[in-house]
Structure 1
Amino acid sequence: MRLGWVLMLPYKPKMPRGHIYRGKYRIVRPVRSGDLQYLRNRLDQEEKNMFYLRHSYLTPEQSKGHATALNKPTENHLKMLALNEARFKKSVTLDEMLGHL
């Protein structure tokens, strides 16, 4: 029993105390080439997004005008107002509640 325990002692992997992926003595995964490629792809995509944010297709004045020309925000806004009125009770003030007194 003790002999087997002594022989197996060097083969036991050392594990960190507590949560194995957090803290001072954590296990850190080695960096692989796929991880580096994934990071490069993410940075390239973010760079493209920032380019489009910096150089927008429409000016701010044009972006305000194109939606109103199509009557999109007013139609959607009126639909949402009608849905909210149907779903919720109307606001009641103290004057309306106690007006008969």
Structure 2
Amino acid sequence: MRLTLQLLRKKLPRGHIWRGKYRLVWIPDDKAKKDLVSDYRREEQNMFYLRHPYLTLEQSSGHAKELKKHEQWLAEKIKEKPRRFPENVTLEKRLCHLRFQESWE
């Protein structure tokens, strides 16, 4: 039984399966063709929107300044700065647990 399974098993190519001299050749099926057609349709729709934009260049040139996007972004970064960088740690803060008893006897 084991010998039959080994003999009936499909042989894999040497090395990388999809590259080289002994590669497996991928045969496209109907689903792959439909996916390719849908990709081409989507790409064509995107190109149409790029060729015919909603706003002209003059209309879209100053919209970010009017919305004050840069000022909002800068304010968020300034608020975020203390969270990104921890406070300064000195040697005294590191070793304060050793000073539990100040008196000399």
Q: Same fold (TM over 0.5)?
A: yes
Q: Within the alignment, does 1:65 sit opposite 2:62 as a pair?
A: yes
For structure 1, list consecutive stretches of 5 or more residues without a partner in the other structure: 89-101
Matches within 5 A, 1:12-91: 13-80=10-77, 82-83=78-79, 86=82, 87=84
For structure 2, list consecutive stretches of 5 or more residues without a partner in the other structure: 86-105
Name the counterpart of 2:99: none
CA positional deviation for 1:9: 9.2
Q: CA RMSD in A?
A: 2.9
Q: Cα 1:85–1:15, aligned 2, differ >3 Å: closer, same or farther? A: closer
Q: Cα 1:9–1:78, aligned 2, differ >3 Å: closer, same or farther? A: closer
Q: Cα 1:70–1:28, aligned 2, differ >3 Å: closer, same or farther? A: same
User: How many residues are aligned here?
Assistant: 83
- Could you list the runs of 4 or more consecutive aligned residues of structure 1 that deviate by over 3 angstroms after TM superposition? 7-15, 83-88
- TM (norm. structure 2) is 0.59
- TM (norm. structure 1) is 0.61
Q: What percentage of residue pairs aligned between the two structures are identical?
A: 43
